[in-house]
């Protein structure tokens, strides 16, 4: 491990479709923070895929990770945001061994809403699933991403509660400035920067028109400064996205059938983290 290698001081580690992209770009604008070249590096996921085949821990070793933080100096907190880290053993084990002793931030969304949002993303945005919501729920892995307590328990055991910050998506969306200032306190940076800040949403699920154009944009995204991305995003969305279809009655019925799942997961989370305010989930 090179002494001169730059590694993250904190990492946003999940969950998918829970605001990790928005929080990444909001924090990347802070003058004391430096975001990775690529928001989601997928460097420490357990399996090699198209998302990390150029750089990953298993094939390229730890020093390759520093590539993502080459533009970050020691006067800034470096970070990345890979939403799937919550579920990855490699991420939990290797991030804990980094000399920077990074802190970890997780954002959790009401379980049924997360499941439905993920379904809508892969059907209308990435277009990697063509079936109905009913067919999606029949898949064996349809709800694994919301088994929050199961995965969080291992992170808390490895990192300790003092290095892990758990946020609630609905709380973040309802009170962006308040919650982001709490994150700043956790990271030891000045939260006053976010007074009057433009909290632009990122990675919202939309119906993508051209998959080719979308994938091309994702390839070039790491080369575009974050501030310029913020300016260009509305123009891109007008060019290559449309309105999502409204939720139909069948989907609403199926979401209702997930209520026992949501209640179980909420109970498990409350037992693991009694201080976590899940009152927003009671309204679902």
Looking at residue 214, its pLDDT comes to 52
Q: What is the pLDDT of residue 230?
A: 59
Its domain, for residue 265, covers 10-205+244-279
State how many domains the chain has. 1
Let me know if residue 230 belongs to a domain. no
149 and 108 Cβ atoms separated by less than 8 Å = no
Query: Is residue 5 situated within a structural domain?
Result: no
Report pLDDT for 126: 83
Residue 18 in domain: yes
Give domain status of residue 216, yes or no: no
Instruction: Say which CATH number the domain at 49 has.
Output: 3.40.50.300
Say what the pLDDT of residue 1 is.
Answer: 46
Is 233 among the domain residues? no
Please give the chain's pLDDT, 284 residues, in tens. 455 689 999 999 999 999 999 999 999 999 999 999 889 999 999 999 988 999 999 999 999 999 999 999 999 999 999 999 999 999 999 999 999 999 999 999 999 999 999 999 999 888 889 999 999 999 999 999 999 999 999 999 999 999 999 999 999 999 999 999 999 999 999 999 999 999 987 655 545 555 655 566 556 566 566 666 655 555 555 555 556 678 899 999 999 999 999 999 999 999 999 999 999 997 55
In a domain, 222, yes or no: no
Distance CA 264, CA 239 (A): 42
Asked if residue 140 belongs to a domain, the reply is yes
Instruction: Note whether residue 227 is domain-resident.
Output: no
pTM exceeds 0.75 for this model:
yes
CA distances from 82 to 24, 73, 87, 201, 217 (A): 10, 21, 11, 17, 18
């Amino acid at each position: 491990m090179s002494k001169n290698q730059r590694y993250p001081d904190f990492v946003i580690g999940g969950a998918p479709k829970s605001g990790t992209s928005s929080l990444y770009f909001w924090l990347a604008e802070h003058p004391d923070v430096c975001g990775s070249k690529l928001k989601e590096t997928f460097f420490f996921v357990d399996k090699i895929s198209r998302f990390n085949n150029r750089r990953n821990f298993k094939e390229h070793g730890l020093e390759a990770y520093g590539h993502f933080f080459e533009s970050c100096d020691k006067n800034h907190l470096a970070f990345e945001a890979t939403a799937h880290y919550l579920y990855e053993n490699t991420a939990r084990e290797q991030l804990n061994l980094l000399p920077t002793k990074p802190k970890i931030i997780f954002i959790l969304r009401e379980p049924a809403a997360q499941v439905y949002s993920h379904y809508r993303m892969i059907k209308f945005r990435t277009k990697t699933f063509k079936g109905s919501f009913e067919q999606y729920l029949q898949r064996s892995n349809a709800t694994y991403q919301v088994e929050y307590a199961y995965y969080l328990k291992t992170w808390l055991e490895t990192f300790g509660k003092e290095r892990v910050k758990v946020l609630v998506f609905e709380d973040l969306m309802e009170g962006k400035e308040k919650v982001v200032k709490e994150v700043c306190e956790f990271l030891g940076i000045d939260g006053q920067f976010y007074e009057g800040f433009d909290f632009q949403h990122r990675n919202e699920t939309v119906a993508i028109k051209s998959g080719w154009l979308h994938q091309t944009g994702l390839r070039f995204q790491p080369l575009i400064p974050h501030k310029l991305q913020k300016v260009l995003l509305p123009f891109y969305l007008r060019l290559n996205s449309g309105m999502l279809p409204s939720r139909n009655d069948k989907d609403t019925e199926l979401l209702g059938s997930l209520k026992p799942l949501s209640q179980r997961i909420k109970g498990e989370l409350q037992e693991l983290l009694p201080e976590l305010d899940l009152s927003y989930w009671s309204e679902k």
